[in-house]
Amino acid sequence: MLNVKDIGRHLGRDRHENGWVEKVGKRVKKWRGYYHVYVAQPDGLERRCRRKVLLGECTSLTKGDAEEKLRDVIKIARGERLAEAPEARVTQLCDDYFSLRKGDWSENNQGTLSSVLNLIKSAVGDTEVGKVSADDLKAFVNSLPDRRWKTPKGRIKTGCSESYAKKCITYLRSIFDLAVARDIIRRNPARDPIIRLAMPKQARKPNKDFLSFDSVRRLLDQLGAEDHLIIHIELVCAPRPNETFALRRNDVGAGWLRIDESLDRRRRPKDPKTASSKARVSVPPLLQRELADWMHAHHGEPRRTCCSPIATAGPRIARTN
């Protein structure tokens, strides 16, 4: 007879679990869900681990809604598909799309994609995939300039940029392309030839204002040594800001700057945005002298002049705070 103690605590079998939810929070009550995953160990056994996830505020979700949302989270954690039939909800289709594509995106892009998908789910998420019409999606796109959102600092803003509206249209098409590929629907409502999804005229256009040469000179005259150096590098060499703050001392050569690294939102080093961004940029003599003077004046102070604690290949040139 097989003894469980001989092979470990957990057997390799199908697990069926719905998890459980509870209210948390002091000022704002939210639903928090709990469930278990089984993690394989090097010795071939499995370890049962508990996971938790915030599902939403209690004012917008009933307990039944929170439990249903948790079941979808559990399915995604196990690699199961959520949307397989026309009666599946758009929310489930969005979750499937995110789980399929998140490996193709960086952490920053995942955040942007998640923001767009959450906006789509708030508009048509409760609708069955087979019942979403081109009119519904057109109404959603037209409403983007009227959207309101809260910034991380708590400020309420309104409107929508052209870039964000374009992302919404692109992901709408991709989401329902997935539904077509799975034979959930026969035609993609986001690609209707008559009711086309177009950029709203009220979408905020990018600011193309620029400073004159006199304005740039006045700006530079008002800056301290470090800020002057940063702006000078940006004006002359035109790197991305997160590439400028990733520069190390050994990236400075005789008449050139080497761009081979960038920083993410948490100031951790990463590769530049594109492969072609890795290059050497020419530096004119005036900026070369300013760089040399700065590094000479701050020699021996790698920690104070770094924007990250990593200094094995030479300290950073400038701080990011």
Task: Report DSSP letters for 151-168, one per residue.
Answer: -TTS-EEE--BHHHHHHH
Asked whether residue 270 is assigned to any structural domain, the reply reads yes
Q: Does 275 lie in the same domain as 187? A: no
Asked whether residue 306 is assigned to any structural domain, the reply reads no
Q: Does 267 lie in the same domain as 185? A: no
Q: What's the token pair of residue 277?
A: 């961004």
CATH of the domain at 68: 3.30.160
CA distances from 165 to 87, 129, 142, 147, 286 (A): 28, 22, 9, 11, 42
Name the amino acid, one letter, at 56.
G
Q: What's the token pair of residue 303?
A: 């920690």
pLDDT of amino acid 19: 85
Q: Does 166 lie in the same domain as 116? A: yes
β-bridge pairing 20-24 and 30-40: antiparallel
Q: Does 238 lie in the same domain as 201? A: no
Asked whether residue 302 is assigned to any structural domain, the reply reads no
Asked whether residue 9 is assigned to any structural domain, the reply reads no
pLDDT of amino acid 156: 84
CA atoms of 50 and 15, how far apart (whole Å): 14
Asked whether residue 217 is assigned to any structural domain, the reply reads yes
CA atoms of 177 and 238, how far apart (whole Å): 38
Torsion angle, alpha carbons of 294, 297, 299, 305, to 10: -60
CATH of the domain at 166: 1.10.150.130
Q: Does 204 lie in the same domain as 87? A: yes
Name the amino acid, one letter, at 140.
F
Provide the 8-state DSSP code for 89: B
β-bridge pairing 256-259 and 252-253: antiparallel
Q: Does 288 lie in the same domain as 195? A: no
User: With contact defined as beta carbons under 8 Å apart, do 20 and 33 qualify?
Assistant: yes
Q: Does 203 lie in the same domain as 243? A: no
pTM above 0.75, yes or no: no
Q: How far apart are the first and last CA of the chain?
A: 65
Asked whether residue 280 is assigned to any structural domain, the reply reads yes
Q: Does 91 lie in the same domain as 193? A: yes
Selection from 237, 238, 249 nearest residue 298 by Cα: 249
Number of domains in the chain: 3
User: With contact defined as beta carbons under 8 Å apart, do 204 and 159 qualify?
Assistant: yes
Structural domain span for residue 222: 213-297
User: With contact defined as beta carbons under 8 Å apart, do 136 and 189 qualify?
Assistant: yes
Asked whether residue 315 is assigned to any structural domain, the reply reads no
Q: What's the length of the chain?
A: 321
Per-residue pLDDT of the chain (321 residues; tens, 9 = 90+): 334 343 344 444 445 577 889 999 888 889 999 988 777 777 778 788 888 888 888 888 888 888 878 877 777 776 655 566 667 888 888 888 888 887 777 777 788 888 888 889 988 888 888 899 999 999 999 998 888 877 767 788 888 888 889 999 999 999 999 888 888 888 899 999 898 888 888 887 777 778 888 888 888 888 888 888 888 888 888 888 888 888 888 888 888 888 888 887 778 888 887 778 888 888 899 988 888 888 888 775 543 333 332 233 445 555 444
Asked whether residue 2 is assigned to any structural domain, the reply reads no
Q: Does 274 lie in the same domain as 197? A: no
Q: Does 192 lie in the same domain as 87? A: yes
Q: What's the token pair of residue 113?
A: 């994609």
CA atoms of 211 and 215, how far apart (whole Å): 6
The number of CA neighbours under 13 Å toward the Cβ of 149 is: 14
Domain boundary among 181, 208, 235: 208
Q: Does 121 lie in the same domain as 195? A: yes
Domain boundary among 208, 242, 267: 208
| Burial grade of 75 (CB within 10 A; 0-12, 13-18, 19 or more) | middle
- DSSP-derived 3-state class of residue 139: helix
CA atoms of 60 and 70, how far apart (whole Å): 15
Q: Does 254 lie in the same domain as 285? A: yes
Domain boundary among 151, 180, 208: 208
Phi/psi of residue 213, nearest 5 degrees: -60, -40
